[in-house]
Amino acid sequence: MKKKSHPLLGIHSVLMMIFIYVPILLIIIYSFNNTRLSGDWEGFTFDWYASLMTDDHVLEALMNSLTVGIVSTIVATLLGTVGALSLRGLGRRWKGSMNGLMYLPVIIPDIIMGLSLLVLFNQMHIPLGKATVIIAHITFSMSYVYVVVTARLAGMGKQLEEAAADLGATPWQTFRHVTWPQIFPGVISGALIAFTMSLDDFMVSFFVAGPSSTTLPIYIYGQVKRGISPEINALCTLLIVVSVVLILLAQFFLNRGKGQKKHKMLPI
């Protein structure tokens, strides 16, 4: 017999969703408001989105975010994937310790991560700029890629690789024709998550960015201190949409990988 949930649990869930999503919905709605007064609705317009395309400061921050995101994602995906493959063969004792170290950047508060990297760059006399932001983003993005790829490797097992080795395949042939096709959806998913985290990051970037390396979240923070404008609402809306699309794509690739795995395991 199916156990019924308490009505209060449903009410709690609804209230929680309202608390989380209503503020985001208000930002999206007022990004189309035909007035600069946030409290009054004067009609529907796309003018604030159009003005973003002609704002040099926004375009500069966008280019900085894209440059940092693309470069850090490529490097983090490479390092995270290689790390997951390398640590796969370790014994249980060492593997647990290394997994804990790789998970730390995900667990450590962003403010601690940003402050520690700032101290490191100062000690090494590295001037703050776009390069330091990229290094910082690689540091935490790599862990997200590692987690996703490790999960794919754990679900994959070693049976196919052992069968390929028994049939005379070299380690490179086994990786190219067996391992890589299996983990590829996880690698793409991890890369999308890493890019999303880089694009949305504020706290770490705030500590390690220089005067000429302002990213979109830092730009938004600087503008909000002067007051919330419709342009900021529009910019936040675009970031929300891009982030949601990237996360949905990451989930799509993960589900696609699971589907491929089940398909390949079906008897012929």
Scanning the chain, the segments in alpha helix (DSSP H) are 7-30, 47-52, 56-87, 92-107, 110-123, 130-156, 159-166, 171-174, 180-200, 203-208, 216-224, 230-264
- 268 pLDDT band, cuts 50/70/90, is very low
Q: Phi and psi dihedrals of 67, rounded to 5?
A: -65, -50
What is the per-residue pLDDT across 116-168, written as a single tens digit (0 to 9) for each? 999 999 999 999 999 999 999 999 999 999 999 988 888 777 787 778 887 88
* DSSP structural state of residue 20: H
Say whether 108 sits in a helix, a strand or coil. coil
Q: Are 66 and 215 in contact (CB under 8 A)?
A: no
Say whether 33 sits in a helix, a strand or coil. strand
- 2 pLDDT band, cuts 50/70/90, is low
For position 124, what pLDDT does the model report? 93
- The better pLDDT of the pair 2, 36 is held by 36
Q: Is the pLDDT of residue 262 over 60?
A: no
Q: Is the pLDDT of residue 91 over 60?
A: yes
Q: Is the pLDDT of residue 173 over 80?
A: yes
- 210 pLDDT band, cuts 50/70/90, is confident
Any idea what the Cα angle at residue 86 is, between residues 80 and 88, rounded to 5°? Answer: 100
Any idea what the Cα angle at residue 166 is, between residues 165 and 167, rounded to 5°? Answer: 90
Q: Is the pLDDT of residue 29 over 90?
A: no
- The better pLDDT of the pair 264, 69 is held by 69
- Which residue from 192, 164, 189, 183 is spatially nearest to 261, judged by alpha carbons? 183
For position 263, what pLDDT does the model report? 45
- 81 pLDDT band, cuts 50/70/90, is very high
Q: Are 205 and 133 in contact (CB under 8 A)?
A: yes
